[in-house]
């Protein structure tokens, strides 16, 4: 019921400004259709439990969530990785993925394959009970830490991510630096993620990165490799936030007006497969969040969950339904209104 209400709100927001359906707009612009190439990244959302409850979270994670990937599903993922020739990176997310019982098993097994491992880290998880050796574990397995830090000032971070999160985040970044992450002449990568506090688009990534590096160094002595700027997706908590402030329609119009055709060929959904804690597969983490399934080749490409009219509802594809991720090549990608979030400005892929 909540998802249905959200879709109706987004549809009305598009109609108010006469914004076309995303798939129709791509076709009007004569851009290459959204189909999957050889998947290079497998993104695993291994559970929705998190020690934080951030206002912008598109999967609505919190300390009250109990959904967690099982060992059976984790083992199946490892099987698929061994059979999939094109995967280069495994991106572990949540929730707080480190707090999932399968996190260390997955990291250990993926490490044996020589694949890059990205850990989407909220930073404060380093100080949760039972995680005293987490930093040592991440170092041992050379995980690429991608950490959220929406600002270099305490007030903005705490407003979005919770009281006292900023001070813990700074402490964690200093500890990561001390372990060799993000410092010169080290192979241990530490990237930061910025997303706007409100209904705006991020500034140019290269310019903001320079500001972040200067401010974090001058204020705290913190180093990092890259800053990644993401647009806020008009789904889940952020959609509720926009709706409650009467800003949903104007934000959707902002995304549409800032459509950038140059980012379409590089959209992450073309090279990525997203898997949720149950093992169901999606075209991206945002589609996963709104339960918009991947369209299999045996069903109609028009989804009852998408913005397009439909005759057949696509069956769900699970990690237990395929023998290799290579089977997903050339499948059409499910789209809906939030896809404008990935094509606005510099994009969000």
| Cα(321)–Cα(325) distance, integer angstroms | 10
C-beta neighbour count of 177 within 10 angstroms: 19
Task: Give, for 191, the enclosing helix (H) or strand (E).
Answer: strand 190-194
Q: Given this model, what pLDDT does residue 163 score?
A: 64
Report, at the CATH architecture level, how domain 2-342 is classified: Alpha-Beta Barrel (3.20)
Q: What is the CA radius of gyration of the chain?
A: 20
Within the chain, which residues score under 70 in pLDDT?
Answer: 1-3, 55-56, 158-160, 162-163, 297-315, 349
CA pair distance 200, 237, nearest whole angstrom:
16
Q: How far is CA 68 from the centre of its chain?
A: 17
Q: What is the per-residue pLDDT for 16? A: 80
The domain ranges of the chain are 2-342
Q: What is the DSSP annotation of 130-156?
A: T-TTHHHHHHHTT-EEEEE-S-SSHHH
Mind listing the pLDDT tens digit for each residue in 236-250? Answer: 888 888 888 999 999
Structure confidence at residue 164 (pLDDT): 78
C-alpha–C-alpha distance, residues 162 and 157, integer Å: 7
Q: List pLDDT tens digits, range 177-220.
A: 999 999 999 999 999 999 888 899 999 999 999 999 999 999 99
What is the pTM assigned to this prediction? 0.90
Predicted pLDDT of residue 260: 96
pLDDT at 307: 43
Lookup: tokens for 166: 């900023």
């Amino acid at each position: 019921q909540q998802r249905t209400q959200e879709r109706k709100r987004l549809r009305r927001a598009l109609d108010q400004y006469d914004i076309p359906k995303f798939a129709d707009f791509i076709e009007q612009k004569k851009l290459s259709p959204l189909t999957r190439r050889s998947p290079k990244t497998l993104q695993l959302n291994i559970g929705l439990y998190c020690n934080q409850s951030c206002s912008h979270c598109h999967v609505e994670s919190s300390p009250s969530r109990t959904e967690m990937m099982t060992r059976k599903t984790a083992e199946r993922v490892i099987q698929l990785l061994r059979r999939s020739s094109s995967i280069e990176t495994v991106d572990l997310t949540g929730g707080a993925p480190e707090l999932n019982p399968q996190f260390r098993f997955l990291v250990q097994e993926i490490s044996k394959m020589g694949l890059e491992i990205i850990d989407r880290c909220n930073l404060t998880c380093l100080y949760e009970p039972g995680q005293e050796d987490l930093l040592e574990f991440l170092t041992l397995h050379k995980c690429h830490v991608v950490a959220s830090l929406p600002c270099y000032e305490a007030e903005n971070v705490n407003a979005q991510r919770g009281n006292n999160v900023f001070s813990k985040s700074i402490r964690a970044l200093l500890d990561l630096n001390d372990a060799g992450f993000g410092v010169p002449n080290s192979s241990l990568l530490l990237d930061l993620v910025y997303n706007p506090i409100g209904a705006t688009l991020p500034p140019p990534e290269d310019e903001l990165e320079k500001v972040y590096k200067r401010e974090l160094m001058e204020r705290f002595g913190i180093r990092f490799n890259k800053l990644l700027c993401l647009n806020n997706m008009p789904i889940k908590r952020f959609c509720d936030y926009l709706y409650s402030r009467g800003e949903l329609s104007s934000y959707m119009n902002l995304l549409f007006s800032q459509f950038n055709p140059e980012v379409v060929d590089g959209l992450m959904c073309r090279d990525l497969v997203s898997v949720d804690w149950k093992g169901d597969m999606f075209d991206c983490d945002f589609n996963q969040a709104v339960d918009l399934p991947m369209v299999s080749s045996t069903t109609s490409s028009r989804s009852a969950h998408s913005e397009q009219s439909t005759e057949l509802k696509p069956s769900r594809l699970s990690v237990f339904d395929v023998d290799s991720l290579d089977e997903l090549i050339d499948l059409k990608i499910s789209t809906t209104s939030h896809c404008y979030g990935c094509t606005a400005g510099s994009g969000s892929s």
